């Protein structure tokens, strides 16, 4: 069975601080995909990144970076120099299940960036 | 380019009724997926369609069904509504470029079952 754990339910940081959102996943498959999504207060989901299990390279996109470590089954997301617009709920998700792929979401981490 | 559109945006139904939600993907996108979001269960995957074929289905009862048309527009149907079906239903269309996928989400349909 697949499982995604986002242990941090809520995080508050002051603007310009760096913040890391943790994601730990469980799967028995060797081929899988990991995602991060952002859901601002408006409610519309925003796709941030998709990473496959064979690509452990860290990814950087502007102030966002992702650290994928298969050894610890983690796919953590860091926002550098946070801004108020980063306030949102962030979801990590796992797509796996050879033969019948399922997309499993974590419970989400609510990030509040205080000005 | 128009984004993903979902209709209706809000819907109120009563238990036992059925409902059909519509999703129009971004032009040129052939993959559409549906998700349900509730306060209790969080985000859950419903189905994924590609070129009119259902590729994957989440763990939902048979009351939840969907289809995709030749123009890539998709509908999902929920029959015999239950109170627990009250949720935000999100649709996403995907663009595949060189085996890399980017998803674009619609604003969602908020369904309230009374």
Q: Tens digits of per-residue pLDDT, A46-103?
A: 999 999 898 888 888 899 999 999 999 999 999 999 999 999 999 999 998 766 678 8
CA distance A69 to A83: 26
Distance CA B50, CA B105 (A): 16
CA atoms of A5 and B34, how far apart (whole Å): 22
Residue in chain B nearest A101 by alpha carbon: B56
Separation in Å, CA A105 to CA A5, B6, B64, B67: 8, 22, 19, 23
Q: Which of B74, B31, B78, B76 is nearest to B55 (CA)?
A: B31
Ordered DSSP codes for A19-68 = EEE--EEE-S-SS-EEEEEEE-TT---EEEEEEETT----EEETTEEEEE
Residue B96: pLDDT band with limits 50, 70, 90: confident
- The answer to whether A44 contacts chain B (CB < 8 Å) is yes
Give the pLDDT score at B75. Answer: 98
**Hey, are the CB atoms on B108 and A105 less than 8 Å from each other?**
no
Does residue B59 or residue B63 have the better pLDDT? B63
Model confidence at B17, in pLDDT bands (50, 70, 90)? Answer: very high
Cα gap A36→A46, rounded to integer Å: 9
Q: Is A31 on the interface with B (CB under 8 A)?
A: no
Residues 6+ apart with CB under 8 A from A20: A76, A77, A78, A79
Predicted pLDDT of residue A98: 65
pLDDT over 90 for what percent of chain B?
A: 82
Please tell me the distance in Å from A3's CA to the nearest CA on chain B. Answer: 12
Tens of pLDDT along A16-27? 999 999 999 999
Residues 6+ apart with CB under 8 A from A53: A29, A30, A31, A32, A33, A34, A70
Given pLDDT bands bounded at 50, 70 and 90, which one contains residue B98? confident
DSSP classification of residue A75: E
Name the residue in chain A with its Cα closest to that of B92. A45
């Amino acid at each position: 069975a697949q499982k995604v754990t986002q242990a941090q339910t809520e995080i508050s940081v002051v603007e310009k601080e760096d913040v890391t959102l943790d994601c730990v996943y469980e799967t028995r498959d060797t081929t899988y995909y990991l995602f991060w999504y952002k859901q601002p207060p408006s409610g519309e989901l925003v796709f941030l990144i998709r990473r496959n299990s064979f690509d452990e390279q860290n990814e950087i996109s502007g102030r966002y970076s992702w650290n994928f470590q298969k050894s610890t089954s983690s796919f953590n997301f860091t926002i550098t120099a946070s801004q108020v617009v980063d306030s949102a709920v962030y979801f990590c998700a796992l797509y796996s299940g050879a033969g019948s792929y399922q997309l499993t979401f974590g419970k989400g981490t609510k990030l509040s960036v205080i000005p | 380019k128009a984004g993903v559109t979902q209709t209706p945006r809000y819907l109120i139904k009563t238990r036992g009724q059925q409902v059909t939600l519509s999703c129009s993907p971004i032009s040129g996108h052939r993959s559409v997926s549906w998700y349900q979001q509730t306060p209790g269960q969080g985000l859950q995957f419903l189905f994924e369609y590609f070129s009119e074929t259902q590729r994957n289905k989440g763990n939902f009862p048979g009351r939840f069904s969907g289809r995709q048309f030749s123009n890539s527009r998709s509908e999902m149907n929920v029959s015999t509504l239950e109170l627990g079906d009250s949720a935000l239903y999100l649709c996403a269309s995907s663009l595949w470029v060189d085996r890399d996928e980017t998803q674009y989400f619609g604003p969602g349909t908020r369904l309230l079952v009374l």
